[in-house]
Structure 1
Amino acid sequence: MKASHELTLQNIESYTEHYIEKFFPKLYPKSTSFPEDFSLEDHENLKYLVKTLNNLALQSHFSNKKSYSFLRKANKLSIILWKKTKKVVGGQELLKASAKLRSLTLNNLACYFKGCDKLLAALEYLEKAVKIEEKGSAEDYEIATTLLNLTVIKSKLGNHEEAFNKSLEAVRILEKADEEKEMPEALATSYYNHAVELEYLQRINEAKLFYEKAYNLSKRKFGESNESTQNFLEKLVQFNFTHASCDLSITSLPSTLNKSQKSSKKSVTEEKKLDILYQGYKSFSGIRFKFFFLDKPSKSAIKILAFPENKYPVYRMMLEYNRIYLICKNKDYKEFKTLDKNQTTNCMLELLNYLFIEKGSLIIVSDESRARPTSASYQTEVNKSRTGIYPKPKQ
């Protein structure tokens, strides 16, 4: 077998069965070199197979029996790889690579069982991953990824104090690691998950801070049209609406972070705030929607979000300034940015009359035409608990 070559699925499964039959019943050799004909080539082949099987499961989104079959085989091969490599003299680099793949497989198994709503099984695999990472000198990113997954599972089990501690640990690790090697996707996710746990614990001001940090980081690194950025924005708007009666002014980071972190981070007053032009309600087919109109001056447009009452998904669209007066048929709105507060409110009220939900999209319907916005409407699900368990990426 040449691990560097692309193999067919049939060949992958054939080699997998070969190694399982050859080594799986014999995991505790006494020799200190590559034992029982376990060679360096076997080591490389097993690495290739474990990666490939995990990627095949990932392509199925851990959502069916076939993906579980791939993960079961990857699990057995990663056990062989881990156990055999531990016995190799001077094989620290080999051991580190084996630990990485073992942790990858355990995290992905946790993803699968989380999707099946078997949370205790998912928790068991993640706790095993933590032990492997401790023994295998795992990198910060790998440790933080496992912590993010533990946050999700413990939160779903109702252990919000423990979930809070795990999410805070992930934030600290990723903030420190991000100074040397940028990890914006993982860091933004850690901010978001930490915000969720703070909200569960009724630490509302701190929760708002971390929701904002997740949104601002994602927007800065990936752009406003990025799916994660959009999800973070919608959650932040929803959060602000839910806690509108609370004092949400924050001028510094919470005391949960240490002094060195405080000095190196911007305060919320330095972050860009959401500019909500108007909030209003409208019903379609018996469902009441809460509408938010957000100003996006950098795009010379407004963003419209429609939240169904106690339902998902959330609908959204971007609408350029120069289209507003055409839709409302009011020349006074032609220079949109010059409108005062009352004029802007009246403009948004008029615009609300032309908004409808039809065939799963938010659309504009005027007297003379029916058209979608220039940037295509689309819908997305926003879940209060979080964006979802954070799977290990392809290696």
Structure 2
Amino acid sequence: MVLLVVAGQVLVGPAGERIKGGAVLVDGGVIVAVGPRDVVEGLARPGVERSDHPGATVLPGLINCHVHLAFDAGPDPVGSLRAADDDALAVGMAARARELLAGGVTTARDLGDRGALAVPLRDAIAAGEVPGPRLLAATAPLTPPGGHCWFLGGEVTDAASIRDRIARNVAAGADLIKVMASGGQMTPGGAAMWESQFDAEQLRIIVAEAHDAGLRVAAHAHGTASIVAAVKAGVDSIEHCTWLTDGVPDERDDIAARIVDQGIHVCSAMSPNWRAFIDRLGPERAERSFARLRWMDDLGVRLVTGTDAGLPSSGFGDFVGALGLYEHLGFPLDRIIEMATTRAAGALGLAEETGRLAPGYAADLIVVRGDPTTDLNALRDLELVLARGLRPAGP
């Protein structure tokens, strides 16, 4: 398919880069030209299909760095998962992938499923057989026996079982390795959120094995001790990164500096329903928790966006709601968009493939009414979604 997309402005990707009265030319799922309207129109052959959007903005498709398609975002996602057989679970995962795409998310990183079911879904989407965003699949996350998300099948006990689990994930088609470096709040009987589940040496083995297989490592880490160990082990991203010690935040400037120096990305994985977090904790405690994001940003930590979609109150269709937290914290809107596109692509190892509008990049783009750099809610008002040049049903 060849398509000429014309809009009031083009946001290329990096903050501040825009083209007034711009256009994007797509051919076969790849961007072949981006620039001023008259220039790009001159490169298109006569009679090419056009998609005109006066007064609208075209920008890279959004990237959600932290989802769980195996969870249904209901009040008991773990119970629902455990009650479903693989066929029913696969159907639900495909529906949730469509929901992501309908909301403008053209790339998503699935950070833990059961039975590696995200892999055939990823492949079906890539083949154009079902609609959905480009997927990266972590398959079964590594966790100790009875540890956080043990029910996804990734329990390990020692170095040998760690190596075996990673080998099995690789054989299943994993795009990255996920490790539950700390406990979490949705696994009864497991470690508390701030308690470490692996020591530094075990994490080093995980990173070494994954990197030897050419895969990145994403570490779920709420506790300060688990963050320290993950950084020393050389993980590629830290999920949540809440710096907890016995439930109390305890940020470490020295470790944050190492996160910067090592190029580790941090995804807070905050729900679109983050305002409920304020209601639950109270404004003072919630703002203290949110302040860690400003602190890390001020130090130069590479923050990226994700929602932990699939958990209760974290659905798949409102990625923009999660971006609103950064607006609440005073982040400039163009930088928020950059975090959700260009920078997120870098965190996923896709910086040369997606996350910006440039010749040779995948035709992952959205067109929204208005200007999201002055009103973030414009990202909800979709006129067009392209994922690798394909138009899904919907906007």
The structure richer in helix per residue is 1
Q: Which has the higher contact order (CA 8 A, sep 6+)?
A: 2
Normalization by structure 1: what TM-score?
0.27
Normalization by structure 2: what TM-score?
0.27
